[in-house]
Amino acid sequence: MTEPITESYSSDVAVVEVDGGSEVASGRTFIIVGTAHISQESTDLVRQVIEREQPDVVCVELDEQRYQTLANQRKWESLDLRQVIRQKQMMTLIINLMLSSYQKRLGQKLGVAPGTELLEATKVAQEMGIPIELVDRDVRITLRRAWNTMSFWEKSKLLSAGLAGMMEGQEISEEQLAELRQTDVLTELMQELGRFMPKLKTVLIDERDTYITQKTLTAKGQKVVAVVGAGHMQGIRQSLAANQRQDLAPLETIPPPSKTGTIIGWGLPLLMVLMLGYIGVTQGAAAFGQNLAYWILAGMILSAVGAIAAYGHPMTVLVAFFTAPYATLNPLIGVGYIAALAQVYVRPPTVKQLQTVGDDVTIPKLWWQNRLLRVMLVFVFTTIGNLIGNFLGASEIIRNLF
């Protein structure tokens, strides 16, 4: 049976009593605290509930990485940028940065750091000697699963909307601030993304509801306090009341990129080679050589132009120029990743720049000054330059086919 606790707390706190008859969690009490991720009221409520209820365990909507980030205040300083690039996770990093920037800006307006109430839950539990369970899925898995579910056009829409949002200087009224103080801001953002792109809701909301519920059910203790975003509260309450065990392995795996993208990635270069071969057979070696040179040089030159536009190091420009042909023929080699890796080696970000990246990302002109953001610009601009070059090259070849 599920019912809100109204006698002692606000409607942001609810209890799920699980009676006998289940081997999963029989005879246990789950007290769910739904919070706004940027709210002093939520922080105070979390402390009040834990101190009053004295549970056997406190479950928190955090994964290990996010917990260490909040606890040690070293989100970007510990970033291994070279490893991120080698594992081709630049897009995951960019999305993470956009979400962090959004939360930080709101937190500055509201006067509360993002995630304060989650960190408060762990602090109170530690003060009282209560075990802590981090029950959220690794944020890197969540973001990569979300990214791999989207089509090319959906990814483009998401990045365009995110970048536009970071550059907006729209002021928030006092009425809007009052409303935000009562809202789970991050979950609201994810739900808005879900409405914008329905595939994302499954990964960002529904899957995490299931994951948090299952981790909470397996936490040891008869009385459990779970601190979660208000947007997750309803789904988790229902799942806890159902009291059924589910296998989490499928939710912890990263699906491969879509087959459509792989087919297009290999199919387009193959088509280009076939068209060049046709030109060579029908029009001669000279025409073949001219069209091949146009195709290759267009990609090389515009990739280098992209690196220059990002204020890349001269070595980065040369790397972009000479690796573009290989990236054109082999979709497993991205010129953006290679150029970004070169930029990191010759101009690594300083610790200070890593510390200020959350602020710098909201000011477009600082993107070219902060070395971490400049690496991202190198990645994006060289990738776009190479794509435009390939498009121009393909257009020229098609025009000369007949």
pTM of the model: 0.69
For helices 40-53 and 116-128, the axis angle rounded to 10 degrees is 20
**pLDDT beyond 90 at 82:** no
**Is the confidence at residue 61, as pLDDT, over 50?**
yes
Q: What's residue 345's pLDDT? A: 87
What whole-number distance in Å separates Cα of residue 209 and Cα of residue 285? 61
Strand order in the sheet with 13-18: 2-4, 13-18, 28-35, 223-229, 57-60, 132-134
More confident residue, 280 or 268: 280
Short-list 39, 54, 21, CA closest to 225 = 54
Q: 140 pLDDT exceeds 60?
A: yes
pLDDT per position as a tens digit, 171-222? 544 454 455 545 555 556 666 666 666 777 788 888 999 999 999 999 988 9
Residue ranges of domains in the chain:
2-252, 259-399
* Bridge partners, 226 (sequence order): 32, 59
Both structure tokens of 121: 């839950």
Average pLDDT of the chain to the nearest whole number = 79
pLDDT value at residue 150: 75
